[in-house]
Amino acid sequence: MLIKKLMSTTALLAIAATTTVSWSAGAQDAAADDDLSLEEIIVTARKRSENLRDVPLAITAFTADAIERSRIQDVQDLALLTPGFSFREGFGRATGGANNRPAIRGMSNILGSPNASFFVDGVYVSGPITSYDLNNVERVEVVRGPQSALFGRGTIAGSVNFITARPGNEFNGRISAEAGDHDHYEVRGRVSGPLVEDKVAYELSASFYTFGGDYINNVNGRKELGDEETKMIGGKLNFTPTEKLSVYFDFAYSEDSDLGFAYGLWNGGDDDESIQGANQVNCFEPSLAPGFFGLTFGANRSRGYYCGEIGSFDSYYYDLSGTNGETARGVERDSFRATAVIDYDINDFTLTSLTGYTDFNFQNAFGAVNPGGFASFSRGGRKYFSEELRLASPAEDRLRWLVGAYYFKDSAQDNFSTSWDPLVSPSPVNSDVVLQANDSFVRNVAVFGSFDYDVMENLVLSAELRWQEETIHLAGADIDDPLTPALLDAPDDLKFNATLPRFALR
């Protein structure tokens, strides 16, 4: 697998130029005449369609052609070819916590919300993104740097926006299949075409992915760790009843079912030959020197940091039989996502409505009994709803402006999680802390605007501003038994206000 990734990355470095500028389809013919031309790439990183070369932002834009030729199939593949963007799965495809967290320009954190966010057609995606299908997108835009003024919450480091391809009058279809080692099989298919020419078009899609795992589980001797499976169906409807009105719907339903992942707790001591101790990587501890009143002081300013090499585990143990006394797969998740985009032209002004809804339920479980004892179990669900309304002036005016309003709500549905030591207790019933969360929510409301002014032919002044208020309502209790329902409302909601500006002169 490593060799395959290295070969793919090396071969695709030459294609990386298409992330910002793509050669036109007739580039080879033009080259013969020494008259090379560059394809114009239109992006929507500032909520309106603009030429990539005219946008004062650091953007990596992958066209549909570049995605296909680069064989980009998921977010991890996308990150491999994007400067300043990384994406890792901390605990397989588990939901929540520090899992599946994007990092742009090195800005990342372990707890709390990520500093970069995903969007589909401009609609905020707060749920799982790892199984999102890149089989039929028109473009992917990775924008580096703060995007809070126009995109809002969770974008202080940047944003990743998937622009889906809309069906039209042309009937087309595609099916692809893959097979590989470790029982890797993948089938993807889609068909689209007109229902009413120039008025209504549709698309239906489906995919199936399975990977049989590549690590042996020493609990039962089977090669099953890393096992993944995803099923997805989706559809699109594109209505264009008049030249001034377009209504676009996009929905998808997916199911993820994963077994365990190769996990080991790195906590051995000096006397453990198989695992290096934690003290062996803190190689630059401060030198201590005696001081006044019997105290010791650091003789230098070193605070200690990682060095050396962490030893690999010889084996992995993953026990799924002790979670609540029943067998559970590592990840069980179903997700429904729907998006509606409405554009209406009024005398060259454009009124846009973006509506998003996501509903997913999940269960995470894992347990490593040796080396180290650690097990975890969590279950719950979340619902997301967002609505954005904005009005944009004509793009040809010397002064171009945009104003809008935004509403977002993230609701938790009976979530709880717990962790315990399986070497001490086979189930979480006797564990110390369980978080039971019911009906908690996060609500965000905002107004925003921007303008561009052509000061002269080659000088443009841009300004953006957003005001938002976020309300966090906590409902939950720490209990000893995860099977006992509990509800405790926080006495007061937490509220946070922010004014977010951005200026550019180009």
CA distance 449 to 466: 7
Q: What percent of the chain has pLDDT over 70?
A: 69
Average pLDDT rounded to a whole number, residues 445-465: 95
Task: Give the span between the Cα atoms of 156 and 88, in whole angstroms.
Answer: 19
Residues 270-306 have pLDDT tens digits of: 444 444 445 555 555 566 667 667 676 665 555 555 5
What are the two backbone dihedrals, phi and then psi, of residue 210, each rounded to the nearest 5 degrees?
-145, 145
- The reply to whether 288 falls in a domain is no
Which range has the worst mean pLDDT, 234-243, 322-331, 440-449?
322-331
Q: How many domains does the chain have?
A: 1
More confident residue, 262 or 179: 179
Q: What percent of the chain has pLDDT over 90?
A: 39
- CA distances 354 to 247, 250, 391, Å, are 10, 12, 12
Would you state the structure tokens that stand for residue 4, as one six-digit string?
Answer: 């395959």
pLDDT band at residue 14 using 50, 70 and 90 as cut-offs: very low
**Which pTM was predicted?**
0.79
Q: What is the DSSP string of 458-489?
A: TEEEEEEEEEEEEEEE-BEEEES-TTS----B
Q: 3-class DSSP state for residue 45?
A: coil
3-state secondary structure of 42: strand
| In the block, residue with structure tokens 């990092």 | 103
Q: State the Cα–Cα distance between residues 84 and 96, nearest whole angstrom.
A: 23
Q: Which pLDDT score, from 0 to 100, does residue 17 have?
A: 31
pLDDT tens column, 221-270:
888 888 999 999 999 999 999 999 999 999 999 999 988 777 766 654 44
Residue 308 lies inside a defined structural domain of this protein? no
**Residue 299 domain-assigned (yes or no):** no
For 138, the token pair is: 């028109």
> Which whole-number Å values give the CA distances from 487 to 32, 415, 434, in the listed order?
73, 11, 13
- Mean pLDDT, residues 465-491: 65
Q: How far is 409 from 389, CA to CA, in rounded Å?
A: 16
Burial call 342-371: b when 16+ CB within 10 Å, e when fewer: bbeeeeeebebebbbbbbbbbbbbbbbbbb
Which CA distances in Å does 424 have to 369, 419, 478?
Answer: 10, 12, 21
- CA 462 to CA 453: how far, in whole Å? 6
Q: What per-residue confidence (pLDDT) applies to 16?
A: 34
With bands split at pLDDT 50, 70 and 90, how would you rate the model's confidence at 324? very low
Tell me, what CATH number does 389's domain have? 2.40.170.20
Identify the pLDDT of residue 306.
Answer: 58
pLDDT: is 2 or 394 the higher one?
A: 394
Please report, for residues 229, 280, 444, the alpha-carbon distance to residue 394 in angstroms, rounded to integers and kept in the order given. 47, 63, 29
* Beta carbons of 322 and 375 less than 8 angstroms apart: yes
Return the CA Rg of the chain. 26
The pLDDT-based confidence of 196 (bands split at 50, 70, 90) is: very high
Amino acid at 417: S
In degrees rounded to 5, what are phi and psi of residue 151?
-100, -15
pLDDT band at 359 (very low <50, low <70, confident <90, very high): very high
DSSP state string for 375-420: EEEEEEEEEEEEEEEEEE--TTSSEEEEEEEEEEEEEEEEEEEEEE
Do the domain assignments include residue 273? no
Domain that holds residue 146: 2-264+315-505
> Mean pLDDT, to the nearest integer, of 202-220?
89
Q: Answer for the pair 300, 212: CB distance below 8 angstroms, yes or no.
A: no
Chain-centroid distance, C-alpha 223: 29
The predicted pLDDT at position 95 comes to 73
| Cα–Cα distance measured from residue 20 to residue 45, given in angstroms and rounded to the nearest whole number | 13
CB–CB of 377/426 below 8 Å? no
- 180, 208 Cβ separation under 8 angstroms: no
Shortest CA distance to 380 belongs to which of 17, 128, 15, 13? Answer: 128
The answer to whether residue 295 is domain-embedded is no
Q: By the 8 A CB rule, do 367 and 264 touch? A: no
Q: Which two tokens stand for residue 231?
A: 């099923």
Whether 285 is in a domain gets the answer no
Q: Which residues contact 363 (CB under 8 A, 6 or more apart)?
A: 328, 329, 331, 332, 333, 377, 378, 379
Residue 177's alpha-carbon distances to 208, 227, 232, 410, in angstroms, are 9, 19, 15, 36
- Average of per-residue pLDDT values in the chain: 78
Q: Which amino acid, 450?
A: S
How far is C-alpha 86 from the chain's CA centre? 11
CB atoms under 10 Å from CB of 286, counted, come to 14
The residue written with tokens 């189930």 in the block is 427
Helical spans, DSSP H, in 186-241: none
Is position 271 within any domain?
no
- What single DSSP character describes residue 236? E
473: pLDDT confidence band, cut at 50, 70 and 90?
confident
Say if residues 334 and 360 touch (Cβ distance below 8 Å): yes
CB atoms near residue 57 (< 10 Å): 19
- pLDDT tens per residue, range 406-425: 999 998 877 777 776 666 66
pLDDT in tens, 71-110: 888 888 889 999 999 887 777 787 765 566 788 988 877 6
Q: 380 versus 295: which is more confidently predicted?
A: 380
pLDDT band at residue 381 using 50, 70 and 90 as cut-offs: confident
Statement: residue 384 has pLDDT above 70:
yes
Q: What is the pLDDT of residue 263?
A: 73
| Most confident by average pLDDT, 30-44, 130-144, 354-368, 457-471 | 457-471
